[in-house]
Amino acid sequence: MEERRRFKRMDVSLNGRFMVEDTKEYPCEVFNMSPGGMAVRAPFSPRVGERVISYIDHLGGLDGKVARTFDGGFAVEFKISAPKRERLANVLTWYGSGDHNVEDRVHERSAPRHPSQKLVLPTGTVSDCRVIDVSLSGASVATRLRPDLNTLVVLGRLRGRVALHHDHGFAIEFVEVQDPDNLARTFG
């Protein structure tokens, strides 16, 4: 309840999908969001009180319950941890602070102050790497490793997928868009 008073809802346009309790999935478009919930347009509306798990482009997975339905969609009240709610608030605040296009997958990149990081592969192999540059949506790392494209990796504490290979290593697309404070804590 406190989050609803602290954070206002903002208009957005984000695509995604949601899964209902019977494990069927449907596409959706988020058009209004706050750290406490979201309103979506969808071809199917679950019943009020039903649990839904949403995967929203650029934001990742969000768990919640249907709070209400309306013609052409429904509203979800999130059931997420306080840290995830705070990260979501930071990302929404960042998007609302200027001329940022949520649909752009390319965010401004910068060289980290702490480029030496640990890279963890799905096999559990831990390797040192050097972060060439980092953004809210990904990073480029210098390493001799060449995991397959789409391999899930962990860079520092951030999960992502191998997006492409380059001469010095590879690029990672983070599973969720990061908030600037989290990037600063990880990369300086």
Q: In one letter, which amino acid is 179?
A: D
pLDDT, one tens digit per residue, over 37-63 is: 999 999 999 999 999 999 887 677 789
pLDDT for residue 94: 61
pLDDT for residue 105: 42
**Same domain, residue pair 15 and 81:** yes
* Radius of gyration for the chain, computed over Cα atoms and rounded to the nearest angstrom: 18
pLDDT for residue 96: 61
Percentages helix, strand, coil for the chain, rounded to the nearest 5?
15, 45, 40
Task: Count CB neighbours of 29 within 10 A.
Answer: 16
Tell me, what CATH number does 42's domain have? 2.40.10.220
Q: Which two tokens stand for residue 76?
A: 């979800």
Residue 26 within a domain: yes
Contacts of 70 (CB under 8 A, 6+ apart): none
pLDDT, one tens digit per residue, over 1-12 is: 344 435 567 787
- Domain stops at, among 96, 129, 158: 96
- Domain stops at, among 96, 126, 146: 96
Q: Which domain holds residue 71?
A: 2-96
Q: Which helix (H) or strand (E) holds 134?
A: strand 126-134
Task: Count CB neighbours of 24 within 10 A.
Answer: 10
**Same domain, residue pair 68 and 143:** no
17/56 Cα distance (integer angstroms): 7
Going by the DSSP 8-state scheme, the letter that residue 112 receives in this structure is -
100/39 Cα distance (integer angstroms): 21
Q: Are 116 and 94 in contact (CB under 8 A)?
A: no
| Residue ranges, the chain, pLDDT below 70 | 1-8, 58, 90, 93-107
**Same domain, residue pair 91 and 121:** no
